[in-house]
Amino acid sequence: MAAALGDQLVLSAPVRAIDSTGSLVEVTADGRTVEARHVILAVPPALAAGIQYGPQLPATRAQLLQRLPMGSLTKAEAVYDRPFWRDAGLSGQSLLDGEPVRSTFDNTPPSGRPGVLLGLIGAEAARPWSMRAPEERKAAVLDSFASVVGDGARQPLDYFEVDWPGEQWSRGGPVGYAPPGVLLDYGSTIRAPVGPIHWAGTETSTYWNGYMEGAVRSGERAASEVLAAFDD
């Protein structure tokens, strides 16, 4: 898809403002301004709230954007020469009730090398552990991994992690979620276009909401809204 779009695909240009007061919508990003008849906004609600809208968004839509926070999630990956745990018949996949890691997955590429073990540190474990010293967190993560696949986990060739709440253009993960009551009070606004602005992103999906599948479905739904508007 990226190859087909060529230089129409622009990266590293965060949108700062969307002005739909004129006959065309004007989208201002870092380094460029684009005019269009319709805009599909596929950024998580918490980040869409940081864009400046003209005219300002309807109150219920603006309040919805205030009420879908990003989750807290850190992802850690340890790299080994090979997925040694498979020799013992272990899958590398687990759910843990301790800390910091709450679940692990075998993230080894299809080629079979190197061996990669992935751990997720989520929610109430993610917040305190994100504030600990990196070396302390790494040692604790490797302890978690060792509890799943054995002591070999303590000697990775490489180790890296991403703290999603610390990422400027994500501010959390895996997605924006609706605390109790939000969908009852504001759910009817979640997919309703605001003038020429159409809302996509996995948070707007009615199926596999919060996953890649939901993101793709939301894009198809928003694209069909725009196509239908062109037909009018």
Work out which of 18, 39, 43, 197 binds ligand FAD, going by CB under 6 A.
43
119 touching ligand FAD, by CB under 6 A: no
Whichever of 106 and 152 has its CB closer to ligand FAD, that residue is 106
156 C-beta neighbours (distance < 10 Å), count: 21
160 touching ligand FAD, by CB under 6 A: no
The token pair at 59 is 């109150």
Q: Positive or negative CA dihedral for 178, 182, 188, 190?
A: negative
Whichever of 79 and 152 has its CB closer to ligand FAD, that residue is 79
190 touching ligand FAD, by CB under 6 A: no
100 touching ligand FAD, by CB under 6 A: no
Supply angle C-alpha 215, 190, 62, rounded to 5.
Answer: 120
Locus of tokens 């948070």: 203
Using CA atoms in the order 115, 212, 185, 227, what is the torsion angle rounded to 10 degrees? 170
Q: By the 8 A CB rule, do 163 and 172 touch?
A: no
Work out which of 25, 38, 39, 44 binds ligand FAD, going by CB under 6 A.
44
Whichever of 163 and 189 has its CB closer to ligand FAD, that residue is 163
For 12, residues 6+ apart whose C-beta sits below 8 A from its C-beta are 30
14 touching ligand FAD, by CB under 6 A: yes
Work out which of 57, 68, 73, 190 binds ligand FAD, going by CB under 6 A.
73
Locus of tokens 């004007």: 26
Residues that bind ligand FAD (CB under 6 A): 14-15, 42-44, 47, 51, 73, 75, 164, 169, 173-175, 201-202, 210-212, 215
